[in-house]
Every structure is written in C-alpha cells, then in structure tokens.
Chains A and B, each alone.
Chain A
C-alpha cells in the first residue's frame, strides 16, 4: 500500500467528507475528522521519510503516464508542506470539538466538519499534485469550503467577510487560470515539470509568457494575502469561528506561498527574475507589508484582527526571504512557513480558548485574564515572543536566517529594516500582555475558569513546538535548505 501513499493523502479526507454528510451527526462527524486528520498526519510523515530516503515520488492517476495524465509529484518541498498542513489539521481537529460546539450553530456542525475535511483535501491536493490545472481544481475545493466555514461564524459580519473573501478569492483563482491558459497556449502542456522543460527552450522576453507570469503572480498574491492584496484577510480571520481561523492562518496562505514558489522556481526557473525585474517589486511589497500591517496591528482592539494583521506582516517576511533569490533567503522563507504556521496557530488557538470562556476577544474584555486563565495566557506569551523573534523561539530562527540572507545579498539596510519591524511586533504583542497581566478585570465578580484540557493540550502542543523548533532546528531547517537548494538550483 505504500506505493499509493500520495493519493491516499488526498483521497482519505476527500472520501471522509461525504461520509460526515451521510451520518448527519455532529459527534460522529467529529470522530471521523479526528481519525482522518491523524491518518493524514501519519501518511505525510511516511511520505516525507520516503522522499528523504528515496528521492522524488511520482504517482500517475489511472496509470496514465505523466505529461498526458495527472501526476502527483512529491519532492522535499511539498513533502514538507504536506507535513505542515496535516499536522496543523490534526491539532485543530483535536481542539475543535468544544470550540466548534460553542461557536457554530448546532444543526450545522456536521456540515462544518464536512467543509473542514474538504478544505484539508483541497490544501493537501494543491500541495501534492504535479499538474498545474489539477492544482487549480484543488484550489477551488479548498477555497469554496473555506468560504462556507468562514460564513458559519457567530457574528453576522461573518457573512460579509466570507462574501468579500469569495470575491477576492475568485478573482485570484481566475487570474491563476488566465495565467495558466496563456502558458498552455505557448507550451501545450499542464504538467509542471513538462512546462519547465518546454519553457527552457523559449525566450523569456516573449510578451505572452510575461503576461502569464504577471497573471499568476497577482492571482497567487491575492490568495496568499501579499500586501496590498490582503484586504480580505483581516475580516475573514476576525469573524470566522476560532478553530477555522487557527487552521486557515497556519495553512491556507502557506500553501498559496508554496504554489508561488512552484510557479517562480519550478515552472519559470530563477532566470525569469533577471528578465523581468520581479524580485525588487516583491521585495518592496514584502517590506511595505511588514511595516504597514504591523503598524495597523498596533491600533486594533480586537485580538483576532490584531493577529490577522500580524499575519499579513509575517507573510511579508516569507516573501522577503524568497525575493532574495539566494539559497539562504529561500530557505529562510520556507522555514518561516513552518515557524509562522506553528506560532500563529498557537496564538489563534489561545484566542479560541478566550472566546470559549469569555465569549469575546476584545482587549477591554480580557483585562486581567492572565490570572484567570494562566495556562492559556502563558501559551499566548510563548507565541507572542515567537512573533517578536526572541531567541529560543522559532521566530528567532526565521529572522536570523533572513538577516543572514540580506547580508549575503549585500543589503545591509534590509537587515536593519527586519530588526526595526520586529520592534513593531514588540509593541502589539506587549500591549496585550500588559493588559492581561497587570490590569484589574473590569468585572471582578465574573467567574472565568481555565479552558478545558481538550483545548489546552493542542494549544500547548503548538506552543511547545514553537519552542522546540526554536532550539532544535536540524529537522526544520535541514529540510528547508534541501528544498531551497532544489528550487533555486533549478532541478525540478
């Protein structure tokens, strides 16, 4: 059965999703989700192991060979992303039971879990597939289920947030297809490796190819919320149910970044940057995002919105790393994919705990919460320190390598900008920590208990991971460097 691992990774959540609808019961649906996400996680570790020991895995759908049929092609880059997505999926599934019961209408819970599984399917499929059009299909599966999940939030504004994301997300997906259509017109193939081979013989200055690159870049920038195309993100993250926010913040934008890496480095190859001058544009937008989004975050009173803006800033760090175009920079970007996923997931899971006990994540409602919910708050502090980039947390590792990459590329001012933007993170993280520990609660008579254990354990798994991977970087950085060498080296 190990030969079928790549398809099982995607197929199991896909087939489990309709099962949830057949049973029409929220507890059974949750058990299915938990089992499936754990199985997915195990499969993704097996795939990563197989890739690291035996090299690239290729799987042909229906035994139709590669450029004609659909191929699932897994190398170090997507094996690593698969692991991130499925690990976050498993943690959020475990966490979800209480949080979802509280935040999603009762009779829609089984449909919520169906949408969750479909979203997992879509994200894993986007990552595993080696066919650029098949990737679009999975992108749509994940996007549509995401809109549904966001709209299930308790606040009525969740509906408009979801609609806003639907419009922006559809624009992004359409741009992706237009770009892909232009590439198909030029090459006659949709297989990613084959596309690269066909494009090698072509002159990069052909107008059609440049238009294709432009459409792909803008479309994917919308999906990954690169500043200034991030406008759908704050509302979507704020009004979605907490476990959805934690899941999306850690996976959806990350997978979009992965697709962008594939488009830039595997389909077009590094040389396209020299021919088009795209790198300085990306770098400028990334740095602008780091500063503008962090500054906006400082002035937010809703913690979920604050963290959402912080996400936009962190996407800036990832794109900054990629835009250096050297191995250190790209591996810093890739390692920050995991690091940011871990810390932002922890931060949003903590928000979910506050939502569960307090019923709000407005800063003024959380005065003195550090004494009432010490464990949740401590986990948030770990995640917050990591957002700042304090040594011994994952955030430090990412920033360390980003600064190294900046120096390697002889861009000292950018290294300074990275440090400066970290100071902004200090401000918005500290603002909440100060209120939570040193302010007296507005309503001291209110009895607030610590979050239930089934939510604390996943929260601390993520908080623990953001310390563990900050100390022991062999695994994360090792794979990221391998992946970066493959991408920048141009070997498909």
Chain B
C-alpha cells in the first residue's frame, strides 16, 4: 500500500518516534500540566493508526497484533483496580493511596501516576483495536 508515495512514507516514519515521545510526555507530565492517561493513550494509538494508514493494516498487525492489544487493554484495567487493592493490606479503604509511600502526599502522587498509566495502556489498546475492527471490515 502507498508504495509510490515516498514522501508520505518517509515523513510518517520520521514523525512516528516524536508522536510516541509526545504521548509519553503527556502521560507522565499529566500531573503537572494538561494531559493524563486518556489523552496519552489516544496519542500513542494515533501513531499506530498512522502506521496502519501508510503501510497497511497487515504490516501494522505484525508490529502490534490484536491479541496483544486485547491483553494490554485488560492489563490496564487490572493495574488501575490493583493499585487500589494495595491499601487493603495496610488497613486502609479501597483506592486510598496514602500507604504507597512513606509520606501520604507522595503516596497519593504515585497512586495517581500508576492509575493513569493503567488508563493510558487501556485507552491505547482500545483505540487501536477499534481502528483495526473498522479497517478490517469486509476483508
């Protein structure tokens, strides 16, 4: 696909690492600036969608198979729910992140960071899967 469009192929290849990097920036800078897991997940997914648009669905699925995406989507949810469970073992209520570090403030911070990571992973996987599903229709 797009074999005769060298400009598109080269530019998209150049852009891809920057898109991924920007997604990671939005992910981990989300607590100090605009951003967070959802936005980061969508941006991360957009790089894979770009890849699929330029190089074809088949190549994209070789890089990131749908079975892996399904598992990633589930693991993100598990990470989100699992971080909250940690507080059970020190006697706190569910989703109380105070005990994740020595200092409650840091604990809450780590908690949110981990939870947002779970959100990011799940949103990335779900977005890419939705694209795969629609793009793969009729094949």
Task: Report which A residues bind B (CB closer than 8 A).
Answer: 1, 4, 7, 11, 14-15, 17-19, 21-22, 24, 59-63
Tell me whether A19 and B96 are in contact (CB under 8 A): no
The residue that B95 contacts in the complex, of A18, A21, A62, with Cβ under 8 A, is A62
| In the complex, residue of chain A having the shortest beta-carbon distance to the beta carbon of B81 | A15
9 interchain residue pairs of minimum CB distance: A18-B74, A21-B74, A62-B95, A18-B77, A7-B94, A62-B96, A63-B96, A63-B93, A15-B81
Q: Mark B89-129, 1 if CB is under 8 A from A, else 0.
A: 00011111110000000000000000000000000000000
- CB contacts (< 8 Å) of B74 on chain A: these are 18-19, 21-22
| B21 contacts A by Cβ under 8 Å | no
Tell me whether B94 and A4 are in contact (CB under 8 A): yes
Tell me whether B75 and A11 are in contact (CB under 8 A): no
| B19 contacts A by Cβ under 8 Å | no
CA distance A60 to B92 in the complex (A): 10
| B57 contacts A by Cβ under 8 Å | no
CA distance A484 to B81 in the complex (A): 35
- CB contacts (< 8 Å) of B93 on chain A: these are 4, 7, 59-63
Tell me whether B67 and A24 are in contact (CB under 8 A): yes
B94 to chain A minimum Cβ distance, whole angstroms, is 4
User: Residues of B within 8 Å of A, CB-based: how many?
Assistant: 21
- CB contacts (< 8 Å) of B78 on chain A: these are 15, 18-19, 22
Tell me whether B96 and A11 are in contact (CB under 8 A): no
CA distance A18 to B94 in the complex (A): 19
Tell me whether A15 and B71 are in contact (CB under 8 A): no
Q: Which of A1, A11, A18 counts the most chain B CB atoms within 10 A?
A: A18
The residue that B94 contacts in the complex, of A11, A21, A24, with Cβ under 8 A, is A11
A-B contact pairs, 15 of them (CB 8 A): A11-B81, A14-B81, A15-B82, A18-B73, A18-B74, A18-B77, A18-B78, A19-B74, A21-B73, A24-B70, A24-B71, A61-B94, A62-B84, A62-B87, A63-B96
Q: Mark B57-86, 1 if CB is under 8 A from A, else 0.
A: 000000000010011011101100110110
Given the interface pairs A22-B71, A24-B71, the reply to whether A63 lies near B77 with Cβ below 8 Å is no
CA distance A59 to B78 in the complex (A): 22
- CB contacts (< 8 Å) of B82 on chain A: these are 15
- CB contacts (< 8 Å) of A14 on chain B: these are 81
Tell me whether A21 and B96 are in contact (CB under 8 A): no
CA distance A68 to B17 in the complex (A): 42
Tell me whether B81 and A62 are in contact (CB under 8 A): no
> A interface, by DSSP: helix, strand, loop or mixed?
helix
Tell me whether B92 and A63 are in contact (CB under 8 A): yes
CA distance A1 to B81 in the complex (A): 17
| B88 contacts A by Cβ under 8 Å | yes
- CB contacts (< 8 Å) of B87 on chain A: these are 62
B124 to chain A minimum Cβ distance, whole angstroms, is 15
- CB contacts (< 8 Å) of A63 on chain B: these are 92-93, 96, 98
| In the complex, residue of chain A having the shortest beta-carbon distance to the beta carbon of B91 | A3
B10 to chain A minimum Cβ distance, whole angstroms, is 37
Tell me whether B75 and A22 are in contact (CB under 8 A): yes
A263 to chain B minimum Cβ distance, whole angstroms, is 26
20 extra A-B contacts, CB within 8 A, seeds A14-B81, A22-B78, A62-B87: A4-B88, A4-B93, A7-B94, A11-B85, A15-B78, A15-B85, A17-B77, A21-B74, A22-B74, A24-B67, A24-B70, A24-B71, A60-B93, A61-B95, A62-B93, A62-B94, A62-B95, A62-B96, A63-B93, A63-B98
Q: Which of A1, A4, A19 counts the most chain B CB atoms within 10 A?
A: A4
- CB contacts (< 8 Å) of B92 on chain A: these are 63
- CB contacts (< 8 Å) of B70 on chain A: these are 21, 24
- CB contacts (< 8 Å) of B71 on chain A: these are 21-22, 24
A244 to chain B minimum Cβ distance, whole angstroms, is 21
CA distance A1 to B92 in the complex (A): 11
Tell me whether A62 and B73 are in contact (CB under 8 A): no
| In the complex, residue of chain A having the shortest beta-carbon distance to the beta carbon of B122 | A18
CA distance A18 to B85 in the complex (A): 15
CA distance A271 to B97 in the complex (A): 42
- CB contacts (< 8 Å) of A18 on chain B: these are 73-75, 77-78
- CB contacts (< 8 Å) of B96 on chain A: these are 62-63
- CB contacts (< 8 Å) of B98 on chain A: these are 63
A131 to chain B minimum Cβ distance, whole angstroms, is 13
